[in-house]
């Protein structure tokens, strides 16, 4: 409209009728093409927690972003082709001293309930977000105007955008302040409201989550009218539902079911992943009385594992054996060769450590639902004399128990934190990490040093040093970079798997499409 200032009034009067005619014609055509249609169903392998409906509850896990990418939106988030894509924020600037980040927000956006989106919502959401490190680093959040917000740090922190603008935390994701304060945290989990491409319809705990297209989504009107996430823990049941047409995508199939999909001409097998790395964490290594306190025992456990055979058995050979739990594609990652499978050397190390006949090592805690992986690892360890029993748990109980830092024995854990080497290590390696049961003072000092280092080469050297020491001490024992099979049904045109590489699930959901009838 500003472009019309100073122009003759007659020009405006002549142009307006023509524009109205053109816009009406284009609008009706676009509406006919873009109107969401149909229903698409997913079979998930774990139960959705109501905590996942609230971005403020998210930290250290990737699976809640199933829901966040559907119902919510962020100032900045990973999208196709860019892991830090301007979303609710059109752009941002960084002050010369590196202490201030100011974001220009999109104007005119509304939440699913009609509330306008402003900088106040972004500020409110940030202060609610979990994530000790990012909250400690940010000194102040200032609403400059309804469409501008500024985050001021205590000191320059080169990883601010890695923690804020990826999926390391929910700090960039926004909920409506007014509505949240009206209904409270519990009320919000019963009926969440967001800015995403899909709005909440219903949630039957342990059964399904139903969402419907939000036609006012700013980026793109979704193609599919209704999406349903069904919770189906058994791989055989997920496959059966896929074959019967009860779901369109079945996530995470076990090898026998994946092979069956491969043989079925009506179905398609798709591999995705690469962000998560499985690893053994020796939870008792900080106890001088525990056998795991001896680095030789930890190294023996690592050498006892045949990573290639595990990949073949669990993922049709798609997962890549890992020597580092920082993926090689991450910035500042140090390439480390996986420990070779050497049970003879493992037994020798155990003997040197004083356990020639092995030892009873207690429980192995396996991240659900990967219980067959845990059983295989128990067998490998038992072969060299490390005798363990696996303790299966439901997923929510597993994470609660792990976070309480009261578990004993060994955890077969996974990390899928985005960003770079520093963000990947943040929850496990420093002693104050959310999943760390202990730490080393020298590693802690190096980690704090790299967080303040603005010289990229010096920072890379420090992060490489941390990764090298972690490997030399067998602080953890990486297993493989996880890549897994899913089944795609015949109605699906675009499953949107790996559009955000390496985010392994369907996203962004506004991109999924069904075939035209």
**What residue segments make up the domains of the chain, in order of their start?**
73-175, 196-267+489-514, 276-482
Cβ(149)–Cβ(172) below 8 Å: no
CATH number of 73-175: 3.90.76.10
Q: pLDDT-derived band of residue 333, with 50, 70 and 90 as boundaries?
A: very high
| Averaged pLDDT, 69-77 | 98
Q: What Rg value do the Cα atoms of the chain yield, rounded?
A: 25
Residue 56: DSSP 8-state: G
Average pLDDT over residues 401-414: 92
- The answer to whether 366 and 407 have CB atoms below 8 angstroms apart is no
Q: Using omega within 30 degrees of 0 as the cis cutoff, is the peptide bond preceding 312 cis?
A: no
- Region for residue 377 given its phi and psi (left: phi exceeds 0; alpha: psi -120 to 50; beta: otherwise): alpha
Confidence check: pLDDT of 46 > 80: yes
Following DSSP, what letter does each residue of 307-331 receive, concatenated? HHHHHHHHHTT-SEE-S-SS-TTST
| Residue 26 pLDDT | 38
For 134, 299, 312, 358, 504, the CA distances from 375, given in Å and listed in that order, are: 37, 20, 15, 19, 25
CATH 3.10.105.10 fits 276-482, yes or no: yes
Q: Are 297 and 361 in contact (CB under 8 A)?
A: no
Whether 382 shows a pLDDT value over 60: the answer reads: yes
The first and second tokens of residue 250, run together, are: 């079945």
Instruction: Say if residue 14's pLDDT is above 60.
Output: no
Q: Residue 368's pLDDT is what? A: 84
Q: What is the pLDDT of residue 486?
A: 98
Nearest to 349, CA basis, from 323, 398, 384: 384
Let me know: does 319 contact 255? Beta carbons within 8 Å.
Answer: no
What mean pLDDT is reported for the chain? 92
Confidence of residue 171 (pLDDT cuts 50, 70, 90): very high
Question: How far apart are the C-alpha atoms of 225 and 386, rounded to whole Å?
Answer: 53
Is a pLDDT exceeding 90 seen at residue 434? no
Residue in 325, 247, 312 with CA at minimum distance from that of residue 487 = 247
Question: Residue 277 is inside which H or E element, if any?
Answer: strand 268-282
Q: Which fold has domain 196-267+489-514?
A: D-Maltodextrin-Binding Protein; domain 2 (3.40.190)
Q: Does residue 12 surpass a pLDDT of 70?
A: no
User: Which alpha helices (H) appear in 60-131, and where do they start and end?
Assistant: 65-71, 119-128
**171 phi/psi in degrees, rounded to 5:** -65, -25
**For residues 183 and 179, what is the distance between their CA atoms, to the nearest angstrom?**
6
Q: Which of 9-23, 319-333, 393-407 has the highest mean pLDDT?
A: 319-333
């Amino acid at each position: 409209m500003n472009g019309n200032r100073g122009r003759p009034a007659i020009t405006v009067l002549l142009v307006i009728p023509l524009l109205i005619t053109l816009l009406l014609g284009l609008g009706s055509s676009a509406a006919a093409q873009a109107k969401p249609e149909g229903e698409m169903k997913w079979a998930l392998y774990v139960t959705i927690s109501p905590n996942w409906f609230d971005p403020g509850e998210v930290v250290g896990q990737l699976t809640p972003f199933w829901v966040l990418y559907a119902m919510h939106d962020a100032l900045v988030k990973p999208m196709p082709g860019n892991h830090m894509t301007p979303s609710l924020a059109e752009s941002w600037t960084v002050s010369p001293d590196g202490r201030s980040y100011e974001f220009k927000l999109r104007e005119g956006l509304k939440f699913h309930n009609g509330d306008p989106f402003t900088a106040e919502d972004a500020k409110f959401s940030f202060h609610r977000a979990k994530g000790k490190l990012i909250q400690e680093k940010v000194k102040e959040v200032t609403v400059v105007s309804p469409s501008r917000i500024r985050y001021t740090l205590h000191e320059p922190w080169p990883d601010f955008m890695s923690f804020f603008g990826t999926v390391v935390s929910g700090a960039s994701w926004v909920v409506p302040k007014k509505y949240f304060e009206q209904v409270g945290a519990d009320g919000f989990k019963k009926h969440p409201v967001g800015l995403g491409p899909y709005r909440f319809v219903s949630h039957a705990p342990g059964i399904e989550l139903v969402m419907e297209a939000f036609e006012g989504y700013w980026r793109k009107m979704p193609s599919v009218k209704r999406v349903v996430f069904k919770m189906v823990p058994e791989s055989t049941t997920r496959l059966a539902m896929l074959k019967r047409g009860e779901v369109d995508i079945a996530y995470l199939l076990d090898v026998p079911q994946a092979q069956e999909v491969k043989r079925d001409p009506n179905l398609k097998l798709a591999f995705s992943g690469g962000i998560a790395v499985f690893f053994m964490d020796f939870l008792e290594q900080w106890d001088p009385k525990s056998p795991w306190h001896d680095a030789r025992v930890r190294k023996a456990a690592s050498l006892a594992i045949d990573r290639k055979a595990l990949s073949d058995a669990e993922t049709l050979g798609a997962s890549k054996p890992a020597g580092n739990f920082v993926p090689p594609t991450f910035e500042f990652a140090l390439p480390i060769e996986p420990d070779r499978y050497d049970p003879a050397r493992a037994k020798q190390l155990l003997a040197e450590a004083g356990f020639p006949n092995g030892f009873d090592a207690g429980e192995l805690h396996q991240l659900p639902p990967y219980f067959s992986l845990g059983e295989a690892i128990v067998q490998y360890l038992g072969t060299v004399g490390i005798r363990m029993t696996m303790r299966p748990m439901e997923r929510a109980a597993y994470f609660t128990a792990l976070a309480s830092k009261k578990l004993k024995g060994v955890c077969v854990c996974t990390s899928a934190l985005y960003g770079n080497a520093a963000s990947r290590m943040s929850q496990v390696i420093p002693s104050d990490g959310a999943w760390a049961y202990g730490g080393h003072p020298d590693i802690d000092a190096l980690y704090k040093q790299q967080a303040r280092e603005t010289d990229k080469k010096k920072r890379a050297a420090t992060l490489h040093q941390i990764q090298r020491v972690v490997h030399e001490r067998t602080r953890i024992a990486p297993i493989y970079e996880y890549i897994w099979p899913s089944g795609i049904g015949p109605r699906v045109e675009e499953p949107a798997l790996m559009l955000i590489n390496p985010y392994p699930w369907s996203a962004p959901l506004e991109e999924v499409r069904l075939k035209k009838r």
